[in-house]
Amino acid sequence: MDPQEIVLITGANTGLGFQIVRALCGSNKTYNILLAGRSLVKAQQAVRSATEDFPFSRSKLWPIQVDIEDDDSIHRVFDEIQTKFGRLDALVNNAGAQLDQQLALGSMTMRQMWNQSWNVNTVGAQIMTSVFIPLLLQSNNPRLLFITSGTSTLNGTENRTLAVNKYPPKGWPKNNFDGNSFSVPAYRSSKTGMNMMMREWYRMLKEDGVKVWCVSPGFLATGLGGNQEANKNMGAGDPAEAGNFVKSVLEGYRDGDVGKVILRDGVQPW
């Protein structure tokens, strides 16, 4: 068996996904990193960029095209990876979307926005995982990660210091962002659903030895929601630090917290 661990990361050509790739490239361990994106061209560009940033990395990068909203695409990439590698040591379900603003912009109806939020963030990750379980079960140390959100915790909705939990002014309709509070109900609901989905995978795969987590990386200055600069201005953190956090999970530092939603400094309350 190839001693290099094989890690597949969805949505890896940008944002947190790309920072996870960079963190693994900088690791002392050696990986086969399958950098997956909806666009093969963008995945190839990301591979070139990471290779330039880490010219002495012992890990190898492979551009992969997969659209987690397309079952045929998922099955095609499964066949590709099965043929080339025969197993998968870790699946990082990172690809996601924050689409709530599209309703306010008029580019989506409410039904379209809610359906697509769940289709990308929850259903896509569910199907991706279900298809790839046979390859994970070929690993001696399989790991399954879902990237969730700090907005997904039910307990955390009581924290009124966070803009996402503040009460908007009286009246209707409500503004998505009024300078005091902002609303991402479809996004956060889909990630809460992901948390329960993770618990189901943990339950189903416990006796198979698969280590499963949801990883809550914090509010990051990425393009999630369509405006990286706005996220940064609202106090979003460095995505590179979150990339290193995910790397630490892949490298065994949070094995005591399997089956939970984990933060860098602890466990996220339900």
User: Catalytic residues, which ones?
Assistant: 149, 187, 191
Termini Cα distance of the chain: 39
Q: Which are the contacts of 120, defined by CB distance < 8 A and separation ≥ 6?
A: 68, 69, 95, 96, 97, 99, 190
Tokens representing residue 56 in the block: 């002495």
Helix axes 71-84, 124-136, angle to 10 degrees: 20
| CA atoms within a 13 Å half-sphere pointing along the CA-CB vector of 20 | 33
Report which of 21, 147, 24 is spatially closest to residue 94, judged by C-alpha positions. 147
Rounded-to-integer distance, Cα 102 and Cα 121, Å:
16
Report which of 128, 115, 18, 121 is spatially closest to residue 70, judged by C-alpha positions. 128
> Where is 144: in which H helix or E strand?
strand 143-147
- Strand 5-9 relative to strand 143-147: parallel, antiparallel, unpaired? unpaired
Buried b (16+ CB within 10 A) or exposed e, 136-175: beebeebbbbbbbbbbbbeebeeeeeeebeeeeeeeeeee
